[in-house]
Structure formats: C-alpha cells, structure tokens
Amino acid sequence: MLLTSLMMLAFAITSFAQCEAKKITLSNGTATLSEKTGSCQRFAFDISEGQRVKLSLSSTDGNARFALQNGAEDDTGTTGWDNLSTFDDVPDSTYWEVGVTGTSTTAYTLKITVSDE
C-alpha cells in the first residue's frame, strides 16, 4: 500500500513538472476560465508595463489548490504562493504562472482582469 501511494505521488509530481503552461494573452478586459482539475492545469500570462492585473481564484467545493508564481527573476528570486484554496488580490508583477491541483471532480474558476493603471 505504501509503495503504491509513493509511486502515485511520484507520477503526479513528474506529470505536473512536465506540464507546459498554457499561455493566456490579454490586453484590457477580463478572462474567466471555469474548469475541473485533472491533467495539466497550468496557465501563464503577462501584461504590459503600466497595466495592472487582478487575480481571483476559487473552487466550488474548496478542494482545489492553487500555486502562483511571478516570473520576475532578480536578486531576491521570485515571489510565489503555494497550497492556496482561494486568492483575490492585485499582485505587483507583469508575468504570472498559475497551477491548479485537486481531484478530477474539483471545479474551479480563474478570473483575470487587466486594466490600465
């Protein structure tokens, strides 16, 4: 039983690591994705200088988990959050990646709003 669990965990980690982020392109406006977790659930998007983004993440049953990371590499590294059940904020970065995990029946919503500052 333990060996089976470890093998499943290793497969899940490997699958997520090999998952390529789907690129979302936005100018001004809102994009809303309502999906279920399972397979590859990674998204990447960037905005132009002088714009701001509002991210809202939620799951219908509270079981989806979100990981966010900005892609800004500098002396201090990247900023990120792991194992979130919700997120609703205006982060200060022009590039973001969002990963979603959960059972295959867990529904979630990712809403991205981009506007000029």
Give the amino acid at 34. S
> Is the pLDDT at 26 greater than 70, yes or no?
yes
> Is the pLDDT at 9 greater than 80, yes or no?
no
Helix (DSSP H) and strand (DSSP E) numbers for the chain: 1, 9
Report pLDDT digits (tens) over 52-67: 889 999 988 888 889 8
pTM, 2 dp:
0.71
Whole-number pLDDT of residue 28: 84
Tell me the H-state helices in the chain.
2-18
Give the amino acid at 103. T
Rounded to whole angstroms, how far apart are CA atoms 55 and 66?
Answer: 12
Give the mean model confidence (pLDDT) for residues 13-34.
74
Q: How confident is residue 76, by pLDDT bands cut at 50, 70 and 90?
A: low
